[in-house]
Amino acid sequence: MRFQAIAVLVALSGCAEPEGLEAKVWTVEDFLRLAPEGQDLGGFRADQLVVLEGQPIPFRSRPYAASDVLQGPGYGLTPFPAFADGQPASFTVTEIWFAHPTPWIQPGYVMASRLTPEPTPLGGLNIFPVGVEATFYSPFWQLFYALAPDAGQDEFRSATAVLGAHLPLQRASLVYCPLAPADGGVAAPAGVDAGPTHPWLLVDDVGGDGGWPQAARPMPMATSWVDGTRVPYFRGGVDRIEGVDQLPVEHPLYTFAVAASDGGRALLPIPAVLPEEPFRSSFVRRTDVLVGASSAVFVPPDRPELIALLRGMGVKVACPQLDESTARLRLGAVIDQASCVRGRPTVSGCVDNEPDGGGDDGGVLDPIGGCEFLDSAAAVRGVNSSRIIPTETTLAIGVTQVGRELGP
């Protein structure tokens, strides 16, 4: 049943894009509201984007693992597996726009007791001018220090009050702070509050101590003032985007897909590829990359449900036996030319380039050693451009880990 549910999930998540060009914006609040219905949000299912308490954490549960891992207290933003510059990475999604103009960077205000020689914050909450209901809401804020040396810590609670007081302003950081309901974090099981966020990596894989599974929470929640009301938000970090003329610079998020029977495209439930400088690329456009007929997805042979799922979507799967650590690092990677795979598979239906009567894969030391993976933006750009299809969907993402580097 679980397998069937995932299959349905994948099929729906990859259904053709909505007809027409109705401009849509979905925030974490919407993800949570629509998760029970599993609604499609620009190609992503709401219940993939967030996980509710006690529910299996996507990509950390079956069919990617032998058993389900359940979300701990509160809700969690799903850490999606990805590749960045050839390394495993992970990211969360906090906003999705469909057929929508590029979101503008709004200002935010930090009250300060002095501006020179160094700005000294008063210690109050950040002040944001709009909430998620606003047409021009954006999780990207250009902060300004507002000088009010005699003000109480939270005397100013709205942008109107700050601007109306005509306080001296000094430009500060450009931050990524998605407004969201309280009690959230990066999805993790109960009792886990440190370590990698990539769902398939161990602490050992990133050079730490301890055992599997552990997760970092690099997007802690904080509270802001929005028009006099306390509003929680994720502290997504500083300089997660580049801003030009109050607009975030857009980068492609390469998502792998196959042609669907309805004429649209079905997204594959495998790692996406992040842009170069992923920690500075939090505004991305979903850009589908069609998996070619000669390509294959690497899945270790001990994930038979995932192998079956992908094969059911018409994708070739390469499943040679690798050591466990390498397998975790490569899981879900797209091999551009599957003819490079060596060794006889132990799972039927996987890519088999060995002549009939050949030996099993135990004799091949590195069965994917000569393969080229589409695991970086540069590698993806090398495929035939007709296979790269920008979509109408843009996203705000919080990259939480790249290789051994946890999110800043």
Partner 1 sequence: MSARLALVAWVLASAAWAQDAGVEEVEVVDIDDVTTGYTPPEEQSHEALRFTGYVDVGFAKATGDGTSWVDSDTRVPLDYGADPFATAVNSRGEVASNDADGRFTNGFLPRSVGIGGNASFLINTASVDVRFQPRGLPIFVFARAQLMPRLLPTGDQTRLELQQAFGRLSPFASQELAFFLGKFDSVFGIEYLENEANFRVGVTPSLIARYTTGHGLGAKVFYRFQLPSVMSAISVNAALTNNGTRIEALVPPDASVMGVPVASARIGYELNLKDVQAKAGFSGLYGPRNDQRTTGARQMAFGADVRLNWGGLSLAGELLQLVDEQGTLQGKTTGQGPAELASGFNVFGLWGRVAYTLPWKTSVLTGVTLYGRYDRRQALFQGYTWVTTQRFTVGGRVDLFELVALKAEGVFNAEMAGAPNVDNDVFTASVVFTW
Q: Which residues would be at the binding site for partner 1 (CB under 8 A)?
A: 21-23, 99-101, 104-107, 129-138, 142, 144, 158-160, 163-164, 166, 169, 227, 246
Tell me if 199 sits within 8 A of 192, measured CB to CB: no
Joined together, the tokens standing for residue 379 give 């590698």
Cβ proximity to partner 1: between 27 and 287 the closer is 27
Give CA 405 to chain center in angstroms.
Answer: 15
Nearest distance in Å: CB 262, partner 1 = 23
**CA-wise closest residue to 63 among 200, 188, 172:** 200
Nearest distance in Å: CB 244, partner 1 = 13
Cβ proximity to partner 1: between 22 and 356 the closer is 22
Q: Which residues contact 385 (CB under 8 A, 6 or more apart)?
A: none
Enumerate the β-bridge partners of residue 153. none
Tell me if 109 sits within 8 A of 159, measured CB to CB: yes
Nearest distance in Å: CB 136, partner 1 = 5
Give CA 22 to chain center in angstroms.
Answer: 24
Find out whether the peptide bond into 213 is cis, omega within 30 degrees of 0. Answer: yes
Tell me if 63 sits within 8 A of 47, measured CB to CB: no
∠ CA 90-96-101 to the nearest 5 degrees?
130
Cβ proximity to partner 1: between 64 and 109 the closer is 109
CB-count exposure of residue 20 (10 Å: 0-12, 13-18, 19+): exposed
Cβ proximity to partner 1: between 217 and 285 the closer is 285
DSSP H or E run through 309: helix 304-312
Nearest distance in Å: CB 22, partner 1 = 5
DSSP 89: E
Nearest distance in Å: CB 179, partner 1 = 11
> Whole-angstrom Cα distance, residue 136 to residue 259?
34
> Whole-angstrom Cα distance, residue 319 to residue 344?
9
Cβ proximity to partner 1: between 223 and 246 the closer is 246
> Whole-angstrom Cα distance, residue 106 to residue 240?
15
> At what angle are helices 2-13 and 304-312 packed, to 10 degrees?
40
Nearest distance in Å: CB 364, partner 1 = 53
Cβ proximity to partner 1: between 25 and 374 the closer is 25
Nearest distance in Å: CB 159, partner 1 = 6
Cβ proximity to partner 1: between 188 and 231 the closer is 231
Nearest distance in Å: CB 245, partner 1 = 8
Residue 98 main-chain phi, psi, to 5 deg: -125, 130
Q: First and final CA of the chain: distance in angstroms?
A: 39
Nearest distance in Å: CB 327, partner 1 = 44
By three-state DSSP, how is residue 18 classified? coil
DSSP 111: E
Cβ proximity to partner 1: between 133 and 323 the closer is 133
Cβ proximity to partner 1: between 20 and 357 the closer is 20
Cβ proximity to partner 1: between 33 and 381 the closer is 33
Nearest distance in Å: CB 388, partner 1 = 23
Cβ proximity to partner 1: between 285 and 328 the closer is 285
Tell me if 315 sits within 8 A of 268, measured CB to CB: yes
Nearest distance in Å: CB 164, partner 1 = 4
> Radius of gyration over alpha carbons of the chain, in Å?
22
